[in-house]
Amino acid sequence: MFAVVGRRIGGSDARGITSLVQQSTDRAKTGTRPAKVQSKDRDMGAALRSIYEKTVDETVPAEMLDLLGKLD
């Protein structure tokens, strides 16, 4: 029996949830994921790397350098 958002479910509902959890666990163990998900993950990773590189390459504004200099 599972409790979901304040209501108890059982029978076929519980078996359905158990099946979904098992499928998720099986995917995690084998490392296999649908190609569509892998493609989205790859695209997201590329976008994050691009943003990170642009951020690292930005110059530090003079005002920020002045403030940092005052901390010494």
User: E-assigned strands of the chain?
Assistant: 2-4, 7-9
| Confidence category of residue 57, pLDDT binned at 50, 70, 90 | very high
Give the pLDDT confidence score for residue 4 in this predicted structure.
Answer: 46
Give the per-residue pLDDT at 36: 83
Residue 31 has pLDDT above 80, yes or no: no
Which tokens hold the place of 63?
Answer: 């005002």
> pLDDT class for 68, splitting at 50, 70, 90?
very high
pLDDT at 27 over 70: no
In angstroms, the CA 21 to CA 19 distance is 5
Does pLDDT of 43 surpass 80?
A: yes
Greatest distance between any 2 Cα atoms in the chain: 68
